[in-house]
Structure 1
Amino acid sequence: MLSFLINKSELEKKISVAANAVGSKTVDPILQCLLFSLENETQIYATDMQTFVISKLNVYEINGNGKFAVDAKLLEEIVKNVDTEQILFSYDMGKLVLKSGKSSFNLSTHSEPDKFPQIELEESGIKFELETSILSEMIDRVLFCASTESAMRALNGVYWEAKGGYLRLVASDGYRLALTEQKVNIDADFDFILSLKSMKELDNLIKQTDEPILTVKFDHKKVWISAGDITVIMRIVEEVFPDYKRVLPKVFKTRIIFNKEEFLEALKRIMIISKRGDEKVRLQINDNILVLNSQSPEYGEVNEEISIEQEGEDLSINFNPKFLNEAVKKIEEDEVVFNFVDDLSPMQINSKDVNEYLYIVLPVRA
């Protein structure tokens, strides 16, 4: 028999990270579980075979040692809803008892906890540190552009590239692209793709941690990122990311600068009609004025007009308004720049100073 006490806040925090890594669609019940291991230290494990999470638990009044596996979602819901700060775990002969205040749960566990998958932590590999706030910002700037289509394996994630002392993150769904970079203290050059699910798990870890510095290790097959006593290990996607540099425009014929909030307010009204039509907004640039137009055969038409600073030729071009909205919202400065090659080529969106990140959006046909 083994038992231990743990604070609810400690367990809830660790489970919230680990439970996201649990496989939701799996034929193997062990992958729907969290593995608790009480050996030299108490740890919980979770995996969907693509992402592994290992969390050290701060427990006390420990008796015995061993391991057990319990349904992750069930345990997460129980821990969220108990109304006292201390939770007592007792495990014996396949039965797990949780006591918290006047509540007592008798839970079944997986009959063969030793079948829980393990992952080897290689000693060799590239190792470096990143500021948590910097990586969090970089992920936020690109993650929304990654493809949600699991069949598009090369695009269903985020491309990491370290080169010349810079770390770049790139994501694309084939219709738009997001790129962000930061100067970092990394000596080696490397690149890899992490799946969208792995990236979301990493993003969740970063949002939960108070650690200012992350430790990153890459062994050319796996990436593991540690934040204090939580480690996320992610298998890289064995695909080649498309050459993103080929879609970055080199020369622009038209450039406009405008107020971010004014544009977003106008676009919000445009989308009332566009979502009831063909999901298209027409941008007409002429004499320092930007006219936005959208039509629906059934519901009607809307026009919006905003003042801009214009450089270069007049232009008329169509875009998916959702893509414009999501990209412009990520620009942190008050002024946004649209850079156009022509009415058929990708358009570049960036801040006025082209500050560490940019977005590329393909036009749609008229």
Structure 2
Amino acid sequence: MKATIERATLLKSLSHVQSVVERRNTIPILSNVLIEASAGGGLRLMATDLDLQIVEEVAAIVDVAGATTVSAHTLFDIARKLPEGSEVLLEAGEGKLHVQASRSKFNLPTLPRDDFPVIAEGELPTSFELPAETLKQIIDKTRFAISTEETRYYLNGIFIHVSEDNGQPVLKAAATDGHRLARVTVARPEGADGMPDVIVPRKCVAELRKLLDEVDGSVAISLSPSKVRFGLGNAILTSKLIDGTFPDYSRVIPTGNDKMLKIDPKSFMQGVDRVATIASEKTRAVKMALDRDKITLSVTSPENGTAAEEVPGEYVSPGFEIGFNARYLLDILGQIDSDLVEVHLADAVAPTLIRENDKSSALYVLMPMRV
């Protein structure tokens, strides 16, 4: 194999593929990126961790077609440090990859292309397209609520399923860690009817979100009950899905919360953030005392003292006190784009519903804390 590629092109592609590669690997080949040079010109770079796979095609001048695998992180670090604007020569032979750019030369050990594992996709019967902006919105408004608890592995991703809302066909995405729930509803894309319920793993979500920043149009999505594939321009991301059953989250979305607080999310967020400065690391608890058009946020910490702040809001129901984890509350408020947020409350122990208004595509549920 012998090919020449621009340093910027190589660096951009390697930045995508190397992040799939785990830093610690017991199987040496999984530390490598597969580089294939085709006779028609162009390089194909591929990396996998056996659950997630990325393939990207980039422009290059190919003198000799062929393929090899080399350490993904090492090649990425080299490309990062090469002079800007340089042309990079990649030449493989005799168990080595020769990398040359400007006055720099490297010889890196390689492993045979035939040893490189590929995820077998099998049949992906459901296919549809979503605008990249819609997919970004789905991810940004839900992923903070994905659980990191390995024992409840079925919560370690975003649950995507089709449903009906007031007779309208919709696609819903939800994530929860048991303390908070985030759900986004979008119009059901053509071709998604009858799709299986799927849980897209956290790592796939993170890699997909990075790649979406460079996609302008639509993303082609194909899936089966066990695999999903995203077509993103020059890159294709394939992932195994989480094999588990997501809980019926609709049961925790409150429908009868009759106490309504309307508040500016920015001033609310800043107030919570300020008083939470002294909250203990363990609980991060903030108390909210609601009175007629007056909301008092307070924190009492045995080690750090007390803090209180009044924030303006529209509230006309009977007053009461409720506590929340400050970080969870800030995560939700950070996703609100409007000048007003509705907080639907019931009492100090019932789940609280947060949304921009009854027309917004996203809603959030937050469990209160005892404070």
TM-score by length of 1: 0.95
Please say if residues 154 and 199 of structure 2, whose CA atoms lie closer than 8 Å, have aligned partners that are also in contact. yes
One-letter amino acid matched to 2:67: K
Task: Supply the RMSD in Å over aligned alpha carbons.
Answer: 1.6
> Following TM superposition, by how much is the alpha carbon of 1:311 offset from its aligned partner in structure 2, in angstroms?
4.1
**What is the DSSP-based 3-state SS (H/G/I as helix, E as strand, rest coil) of the residue aligned with 2:178?**
coil
> Following TM superposition, by how much is the alpha carbon of 1:144 offset from its aligned partner in structure 2, in angstroms?
0.9
* Residue number in structure 2 paired with 1:168: 172
> Following TM superposition, by how much is the alpha carbon of 1:276 offset from its aligned partner in structure 2, in angstroms?
5.6
* Residue number in structure 1 paired with 2:28: 29
* Residue number in structure 2 paired with 1:8: 7
* Residue number in structure 1 paired with 2:52: 51
Please say if residues 50 and 118 of structure 2, whose CA atoms lie closer than 8 Å, have aligned partners that are also in contact. no
> Following TM superposition, by how much is the alpha carbon of 1:161 offset from its aligned partner in structure 2, in angstroms?
1.1
Residue among 173, 195, 203 paired with 1:197: 203
Measured in 1, the distance between the counterparts of 2:190 and 2:163 equals: 8
Between stretches 80-89 and 326-335, larger displacement belongs to 80-89
Measured in 2, the distance between the counterparts of 1:48 and 1:311 equals: 54
Between stretches 183-192 and 260-269, larger displacement belongs to 183-192
> Following TM superposition, by how much is the alpha carbon of 1:249 offset from its aligned partner in structure 2, in angstroms?
0.2
* Residue number in structure 1 paired with 2:212: 206
One-letter amino acid matched to 1:186: E
**Would you say 1:186 and 2:190 are equivalent positions?**
yes
Question: For residues 159 and 276 of structure 1, do their structure 2 counterparts lie closer, same or farther at Cα, with a shift above 3 Å needed?
Answer: closer
One-letter amino acid matched to 1:307: P
Between stretches 122-131 and 260-269, larger displacement belongs to 122-131
**Would you say 1:119 and 2:124 are equivalent positions?**
no
One-letter amino acid matched to 1:78: I
Question: For residues 84 and 263 of structure 1, do their structure 2 counterparts lie closer, same or farther at Cα, with a shift above 3 Å needed?
Answer: closer
* Residue number in structure 2 paired with 1:63: 63
Measured in 1, the distance between the counterparts of 2:252 and 2:90 equals: 55
* Residue number in structure 2 paired with 1:156: 156
Measured in 2, the distance between the counterparts of 1:116 and 1:339 equals: 53
> Following TM superposition, by how much is the alpha carbon of 1:365 offset from its aligned partner in structure 2, in angstroms?
1.6
**What is the DSSP-based 3-state SS (H/G/I as helix, E as strand, rest coil) of the residue aligned with 1:339?**
strand
Q: Deviations over 1:208-261 (max 9, x none)?
A: x23411111012221000111100001110000111101000111211001112
Measured in 2, the distance between the counterparts of 1:247 and 1:197 equals: 26
Q: Deviations over 1:72-95 (max 9, x none)?
A: 111111111111431111111111
TM-score by length of 2: 0.93
Please say if residues 277 and 296 of structure 1, whose CA atoms lie closer than 8 Å, have aligned partners that are also in contact. no
Pairing of 1:323-362 with structure 2 (within 5 A): 323-362=328-367
**What is the DSSP-based 3-state SS (H/G/I as helix, E as strand, rest coil) of the residue aligned with 1:220?**
coil
Please say if residues 125 and 220 of structure 1, whose CA atoms lie closer than 8 Å, have aligned partners that are also in contact. no
Measured in 2, the distance between the counterparts of 1:345 and 1:286 equals: 18
Please say if residues 4 and 90 of structure 1, whose CA atoms lie closer than 8 Å, have aligned partners that are also in contact. yes
Please say if residues 2 and 66 of structure 2, whose CA atoms lie closer than 8 Å, have aligned partners that are also in contact. no
Question: For residues 259 and 54 of structure 1, do their structure 2 counterparts lie closer, same or farther at Cα, with a shift above 3 Å needed?
Answer: same
Measured in 2, the distance between the counterparts of 1:80 and 1:314 equals: 58
Please say if residues 18 and 72 of structure 2, whose CA atoms lie closer than 8 Å, have aligned partners that are also in contact. yes
Unmatched segments (≥5 aa) in structure 1:
none
Between stretches 147-156 and 327-336, larger displacement belongs to 147-156
Between stretches 67-76 and 187-196, larger displacement belongs to 187-196
Unmatched segments (≥5 aa) in structure 2:
none
Measured in 1, the distance between the counterparts of 2:264 and 2:207 equals: 34
* Residue number in structure 2 paired with 1:72: 72
Q: Deviations over 1:59-110 (max 9, x none)?
A: 11x1222211111111111111111431111111111111111111111112
Between stretches 118-127 and 277-286, larger displacement belongs to 118-127
Measured in 2, the distance between the counterparts of 1:277 and 1:155 equals: 22
* Residue number in structure 2 paired with 1:177: 181
Please say if residues 292 and 304 of structure 1, whose CA atoms lie closer than 8 Å, have aligned partners that are also in contact. yes
What percentage of residue pairs aligned between the two structures are identical? 26
> Following TM superposition, by how much is the alpha carbon of 1:277 offset from its aligned partner in structure 2, in angstroms?
7.3
Measured in 2, the distance between the counterparts of 1:279 and 1:219 equals: 41
Q: Deviations over 1:154-186 (max 9, x none)?
A: 111111112343221111111111111111323
Q: Give the total of aligned pairs.
A: 362
**What is the DSSP-based 3-state SS (H/G/I as helix, E as strand, rest coil) of the residue aligned with 2:243?**
coil
Please say if residues 279 and 304 of structure 2, whose CA atoms lie closer than 8 Å, have aligned partners that are also in contact. no
Please say if residues 278 and 296 of structure 1, whose CA atoms lie closer than 8 Å, have aligned partners that are also in contact. no
Please say if residues 161 and 168 of structure 1, whose CA atoms lie closer than 8 Å, have aligned partners that are also in contact. yes
**What is the DSSP-based 3-state SS (H/G/I as helix, E as strand, rest coil) of the residue aligned with 1:197?**
helix
Measured in 1, the distance between the counterparts of 2:283 and 2:17 equals: 41
Measured in 2, the distance between the counterparts of 1:311 and 1:125 equals: 52
One-letter amino acid matched to 1:178: A
Question: For residues 83 and 175 of structure 1, do their structure 2 counterparts lie closer, same or farther at Cα, with a shift above 3 Å needed?
Answer: same
One-letter amino acid matched to 2:51: Q
**What is the DSSP-based 3-state SS (H/G/I as helix, E as strand, rest coil) of the residue aligned with 2:76?**
helix
**What is the DSSP-based 3-state SS (H/G/I as helix, E as strand, rest coil) of the residue aligned with 2:152?**
coil
> Following TM superposition, by how much is the alpha carbon of 1:123 offset from its aligned partner in structure 2, in angstroms?
5.2
